[in-house]
Amino acid sequence: MAPKTKLSIDQQIEHMKSKGITFDLFSEDQAKEYLRKNNYYFKLKSYCKVFEKYQYGEKKGQYVNLDFAYLVELAILDMHLRHFIIQATVDLEHIVKVNLLNDFNDTESDGYEVIDGLFNAFPEIHDKIIYEKKSYNSDLIEKLESDGYAIWNIIEVLSFGDFIKLYSYFYGAYPGALKGVSYEYPMRAIKSLRNAAAHNTCLLSQLNKQQNENTNPNRKVSSFVSQKVPSIGKTQRKSCMSYQLINDFVTLLYMINNLTSGGMRDNILKNLNELVNVRMIKHSDYFQKNNVLVSVYDFIKKIIDTMCVL
């Protein structure tokens, strides 16, 4: 395959026009200014993936009903979605840590032997902590290296991915300590989601990306949807949750529903409601002919509306 050719902004506009992208709601001059100051071509064009192309005729290969303004709006919505995901997953990580330590307090473990076992099972975790001596946690890590790592202090220096390994290891070693359901699977799903959001991945460009054929939605997460939102039928649930992004986002909603309470829950649901029922519909007329976007939005809205009135 021949390498792509570098395009000037004027050439980028002409290339988009050749692909059927129109500039009716966003003039060509406005688009050039936007590409100079607000976003870059490769990232913005990734949102084209959720739009259909003509399959036959003289327009074959061109996008169907796609204006430049639609891409700009998806980029803005993506930003709001990423901000929500990052904040919500940070809050949930805190809650799971609190619950883990409460469960640990009900065991006979001294807290140090758990981490000795963790380091034996996953020596790379300790290596990564040492590497982080260069970070904001340098003073704490030096103290822990001197005094010893226990379960109640190591969680301050673990990445989310390594905390999941601790979670799995602890409840594997002390299965009787687990109260309620395990959140290992949901945490793995939202870890991928949070990492993507933190790295400014174009999430909405992945809307029609199917899950791996060997991966099915988690039974508890799927049951959460079917039990909490009876207006969502089996066909719609299976269809929407076959998309990786939607499955992971619904998993995030499942954890919010199960773990949050009080002011934290109120704040998260307030932000969710504003995102879905205010910001996302600001230019809903742009996407009325896009079956994927309409179907996914309807699915997510039903879940969030139900959560906000529970």
Encode pLDDT of 73-118 as tens digits.
999 999 999 999 999 999 999 999 999 999 999 999 999 999 999 9
Euclidean distance between CA atoms 118 and 37, whole angstroms: 48
Poorest-confidence range of 146-160, 174-188, 213-227? 213-227
Share of the chain above pLDDT 70, in %: 95
Domain boundaries defined on the chain: 18-71, 77-91+182-309, 108-173
CA-to-CA dists, residue 44 to 38, 54, 113, 172, angstroms: 10, 21, 50, 44
Q: What are the tokens at 170?
A: 């602890």
